[in-house]
Structure 1
């Protein structure tokens, strides 16, 4: 049987369709977009681990961690990010000066090098980061602890308190994040109680900044003892008549274990009134 071949000019145009020819270009475009996304999240959070990057940029991908590692390695090779060893192992990734300049040029956003950035308490920051990452995955806007600390958020201080992050709904309603890793002093716990007393479940919505208003507070603890201390302050304030039941009910709680290597455990969500105070009073 004679083998007949056709010159490409004789082929139908659909054989050389855009889907075939553009695949490599599409992959390059997607790759560049992912690189920009990584740089953007590093600018917003200050620092992130590889797992955090994977959860933000490749949340639904089967090979999320592998893709994050490959992209972070390439960005480091291009001197766009800095890798810094963490005290308990693993690494944190931060923007380099070159990466900050590139991001500013590409997106117009304010970006700064993380070269001089202190990591602070890594477990406390990881608690905030992971809670906010979960909110991003659920479709919410966020304001990170780093953005608040560097005055790039809607506000830095409200009633003497600085938020550990904000979860923002489409209408501007904000959940104020309070992360607990170790027992805070009684005066510091009282500041959190006072914030709820003055700003939540009141006759008027308290505006954080134009277009942003305080709707709820979330206490996120990495361990039961830290959550117990904060819960006790809310219970005492309720018993003493400083907080109404409805105000305590405007406080969410989340037990979010964080390992020494900054990997989160399974979160346990609840409500300060219904899941903490009411059972304690009943007992």
Structure 2
């Protein structure tokens, strides 16, 4: 008697179970919510599918449920689950499974994992924190002092361009932040990026990403880099290759994704503008905050000029018949000429490009405004 063929549903379920096991092996523990994003990203029933699959794997002794300190559960591979993966050809699966894994810093691990999943869903190749710790990733050999520095995540775009990702969730001393400055210099200093050739991947590290759920952590990073630039410890050119990414993660480890992204270059330019305008405000108004309308025409003009594009500068210099076409030449206009410039036009120009709130100025993007608000509230001499 011929054996009947198993239904397609069985094969699909089996494939899903194997895929879940593979992801657990790569991440070192995942929740059903994270698994639903990885295995069933486009299905409204993804969470239910993940729960059903985990239930079957747990019943078969292939995964182990682990309680998290912050509440909730995560799942790791059992010895039996790892053994099955090895039979399927996954050589990175540990013979002991993942039963000995510790989750001492769940917030950090969860931000790493969720951000990695986001990048994966964007089409990037990823190496997780767990893989990096197990030396299963194309990790550069960068030593600062006696310690080798490793990233929290690595991503790759177009099979070439690699990014070093740092998750900054907890306080770091100034000395530890300076170590990251050294890493950035060695990683991004070479013109074509830091080349790496390993059995895991080949490519060039051309980008460094700082991720945090607390804006004060990103501000601390930016301050440290700002000091390094001022002291010429590293080249300003690398600022455009460093990203500051704010993400949302609750204390109960609920992920809401990326809040905003800005390059370090953009942020520090905004800080410089903020500082320059603050100096003028303190000179003109002993008791800030003033309104934008309260500034003198000369002050309005000065800040307009600082924001003009090169073509606008050249056009206005020709209009005023100035000998040289430069921002400094425009700022040096005599008072009688500045008084002839339409104040309403200057006000409108600045409002379009600046956020003015209680003497706090940032570029006109919501996330950068949040960064600037944080920056203005911090003690410049503090590393926090």
Q: TM-score, normalised by structure 2?
A: 0.65
Q: Which aligned segments of 4 or more residues in structure 1 are displaced greater than 6 angstroms? A: none
Pick one of 265, 269, 277 that aligns with 2:260. 269
Query: Which residue number in structure 1 is paired with residue 164 of structure 2?
Result: 176
Output the CA distance in 1 between the equivalents of 2:18 and 2:270. 48
Task: Compare 171-180 and 91-100 and name the one that shifted more.
Answer: 171-180
Task: Compare 205-214 and 216-225 and name the one that shifted more.
Answer: 205-214
Output the CA distance in 1 between the equivalents of 2:222 and 2:45. 39
Equivalent residue runs for 1:10-159 within 5 Å: 25-112=7-94, 113-155=97-139, 157-159=141-143
Output the CA distance in 2 between the equivalents of 1:34 and 1:119. 26
Output the CA distance in 2 between the equivalents of 1:25 and 1:246. 59
Give unmatched runs, 5+ long, in structure 1. 1-20
Aligned residue-pair number: 262
Residues 245, 273 of structure 1: 8 Å contact kept? no
Task: Compare 79-88 and 151-160 and name the one that shifted more.
Answer: 151-160
Output the CA distance in 2 between the equivalents of 1:228 and 1:274. 13
> How far has the Cα of 1:204 moved from its partner?
4.4
Output the CA distance in 1 between the equivalents of 2:153 and 2:7. 38
Secondary structure of 2:11's partner? helix
Give the aligned CA root-mean-square deviation in angstroms. 1.8
Secondary structure of 1:152's partner? coil
Task: Compare 146-155 and 79-88 and name the one that shifted more.
Answer: 146-155
Deviation string 1:48-87 (CA, Å, 9 cap, x unpaired) is 1111111111111111111111111111111100100001
Deviation string 1:185-225 (CA, Å, 9 cap, x unpaired) is 11211111111112204234312333132110000001112
Give unmatched runs, 5+ long, in structure 2. 275-384
Task: Compare 237-246 and 114-123 and name the one that shifted more.
Answer: 237-246
Q: Which has the higher contact order (CA 8 A, sep 6+)?
A: 1
Pick one of 164, 172, 177 that aligns with 1:189. 177
Output the CA distance in 2 between the equivalents of 1:246 and 1:29. 53
